[in-house]
Chains A and B, each alone.
Chain A
């Protein structure tokens, strides 16, 4: 009977097309659709803040240079990972990550809890020449980050696009994006006050690349690296952060 049915099916091109689409659609639908509706998928962390324009720019550079190919941002619920990197990653922590950067390979260590672990100066030296600070490192040098001025004039448009896909940026954040990017890396400038006003007092504001007055791609990348794992402390508040 089944064989008879298939003999009929393989005589119909359209029938075959529909059968392929139908059969292949089931699995993805069952697994993906509920993730958007089941509220347990993503925990709530009401105090979680969004990326500042400077951090967004840094994240875009991180993506541009393909850092995700070697560094994951997802600590698994395994004892050794929690001991090595910190509390395991929660879904809420990448809620504003369009796209996510969980990664699939650790040629270098996981970066999900990198923020605050090293000084800005360490990051700058490491990005210019990783072997200056870690002699055995196989990471490439990113010297041009220090040489390139950061492009800020279109950051408002970036934030607006992010709002379309669901990140809660306010009109004020979008309108002041370029100024906020400059202000975050130049705390002595008149633009600085708006940053803490819009993104919270805890927002780090300093000359990340060590050169006040000049806004480089290095500023943006280091600002981004220093905020990894620090948008919310929800993961640290869990009882025992060991393997589930």
Chain B
């Protein structure tokens, strides 16, 4: 990590880490009688950790100029590991919150373990921890390969990756302490938001600088999607998080917007976080890893163009479909509904493009669980975007809104699309990154695939059932013209589905643990194999020296 940095880069690493530590110190002092002080201490320790990490290796020899002939992949490797770690943590909390709805006393009377506090740990842990790290890691990889240019320097990618993870740690620890601004999927408080903007600007600069150094005339499709992801998420994040802190020593802030304007802004953010964080970024992944793994070109370039601009334009209108029949003006609801329905065109263009790319490679899908992950992801992408457009129709929404159907829909997308395309891409990427012929155990990939698929299916079916039952019970009238069920009747009816959902989530978590083990073992075998060669770099590697080679090498 540090040994690959030049002395100048090591110096900037120390300077930036020291600045982070200083910010932490200021926060710890200013917020000494507020929970913000705890975050100050965490930031201070992270900054100091960075300083000591770099100092401990400061006097190691500089990397040779030969490094410039290779792509810079170290941040990608660390990003993969961090993504898997967050994945397991986030999904663990997911299973826990799911279980809380069936057995509400699993909180042990501890405030931090209460449903309302660990639910955002689950949502942010999975979306931002798992998804975000996977996006950063794969984007660095795809960016360099598709532009045939090395990242512009070696320090800024680390700043983005580690800075982003510091944001995730601040967010998750904050939720457990009760620090939240209650805007769904944008819960972290003002100082975490500001920090994320800094990280994100550097992320954008890496992207644009590398693009400008590219040796390919055209910018490849995957990069359009990654660019849209970086740019639009920045806009959404900044606007939705505009707030006035109580004081600079308080973690608490008050949103600039109130009531109906805040609702519209929040769901403009919330739905486009789906569009540009959970769709655009992962479509970037799909447009690179799926054709690569299938060894087939993209089916239609023109379809990619239509799909890309369609998604970029239309999604931004769709957020108001979260507010049907509310106090939001009717015309805004109608616009949101209309664009949500039309959105099906670009969404299915992408899903269809992905599946058509597999024409001529279906035998590979049968044999290769990694490619099957990507294929199933494309199918779920198609299914959940169809469902999304359907649920945005006002009449359907009157039943589905506020119920578990929405939760089921979200997880069809999150488990079936986002997580599956991520696992598929990571399984493809890991052997390339650690320079081995194949993953440690393709059998375990197969096991993971079936765990993930059965987990997703159980989850989604139980939530469809519970959501539709819930919606119908709320609106059922008996013959005398009064409501047939009390609210608590519907809660009781959910119980078996909540248990089924927990089981589905547990299967998915087990799959993620299997994936982490498999990737971990791949890294171990790769290290064991390269270590002896690295020490005797000037000697030819003797056949038979070191651990036995894998079959097929």
Interface residues in B233-256 by Cβ distance below 8 A to A read 235, 239, 243-247, 250, 252-256
Q: Contact check, B260 vs A41: say whether CB atoms are below 8 A apart.
A: yes
Please tell me if B441 contacts chain A, counting CB pairs below 8 Å: no
Within the complex, what minimum Cβ distance (angstroms) separates B334 from chain A? 11
Check if B114 is an interface residue, CB within 8 A of chain A.
Answer: yes
> Which residue of chain B has the shortest Cβ distance to A15 in the bound complex?
B219
| Count of chain A residues with a beta carbon within 8 Å of a chain B beta carbon | 89
A102 to B262 Cα, complex, angstroms: 10
Contact across chains for A157 and B260 when beta carbons are under 8 A apart: no
Further pairs besides A74-B327, A80-B474, A94-B259: 8, Cβ < 8 Å: A23-B313, A24-B231, A27-B318, A32-B268, A70-B116, A91-B327, A137-B488, A144-B111
A62 and chain B: residue at smallest CB distance: B182
User: Nearest chain A CB to B60's CB is how many angstroms away?
Assistant: 35
Choose from A30, A136, A165 the contact partner of B488 (Cβ within 8 Å): A136
B227 touches A16 (CB 8 A): yes
The 8 Å CB contact of A31, one of B119, B218, B239, B264, is B264
Judge whether A1 is part of the interface by a CB distance below 8 angstroms.
no
Given A6-B305, A74-B327, CB of A32 within 8 Å of CB of B264 = yes
B258 touches A165 (CB 8 A): yes
Checking A27, A99, A105 against B317 with a beta-carbon cut-off of 8 angstroms, the contacting residue is A27
Restricting to A70-94, which residues have a CB under 8 Å from any CB of B? 70, 72, 74, 76-81, 83-84, 88-94
Among the stretches B78-86, B348-356, B399-407, B545-553, the one at the interface with A is B399-407
Bound together, the chains give a CA A40 to CA B214 distance in angstroms of 52
- B window 486-517: CB within 8 A of A: 487-488, 491-492, 498
Task: Determine the chain A residues whose CB is within 8 A of the CB of B362 once the complex forms.
Answer: none
Q: Is the CB of A11 within 8 A of B312?
A: no
Are A30 and B317 in contact (CB-based, < 8 A)? Answer: yes
CB <8 Å contact, B402 and A24: no
The answer on a CB contact under 8 Å between B252 and A11 is: no
- Per the bound structure, the CA–CA distance linking A131 and B256 in Å amounts to 38
Q: Does B217 contact A (CB under 8 A)?
A: yes
- Interface of chain B, main secondary structure: helix
Q: What's the A-B contact tally at a CB cutoff of 8 Å?
A: 264
Q: Give the interface size bracket for B toward A.
A: 35 or more
In the complex, which residues of chain A have a beta carbon less than 8 angstroms from the beta carbon of B164?
none
Interface residue from B111, B120, B217, B327 paired with A90 (Cβ < 8 Å): B327
CB distance from A36 to the nearest CB of B (A): 6
Contact A99 B116 (CB under 8 A): no
A24 touches B475 (CB 8 A): no
Report the minimum CB–CB distance from A37 to chain B (whole Å): 11
The answer to whether A17 and B335 touch (CB under 8 A), given A31-B320, A76-B324, A100-B263, is no
Task: Give A residues with C-beta under 8 Å from B.
Answer: 3, 6-7, 10-11, 13-14, 16-17, 20-21, 23-28, 30-32, 35-36, 38, 40-42, 60, 63-70, 72, 74, 76-81, 83-84, 88-110, 130-131, 134, 136-144, 154, 157-158, 161-162, 164-167
5 A–B contacts from the bound complex (CB under 8 Å): A27-B315, A35-B260, A78-B325, A95-B259, A140-B104
Question: Which residues of B lie under 8 Å from residue A162 when comparing CB positions?
Answer: 254
- Residue among B116, B244, B327, B401 making CB contact with A89, cutoff 8 Å: B327
A99-B255, A158-B246 as given contacts; A66 in contact with B487, CB under 8 Å: no
Q: Which B residues lie within 8 Å of A98 (CB)?
A: 254-258, 262
Query: Quick check: is B266 within 8 A (CB to CB) of the other chain?
Result: yes
Residues of A within 8 A of B477 (CB): 80
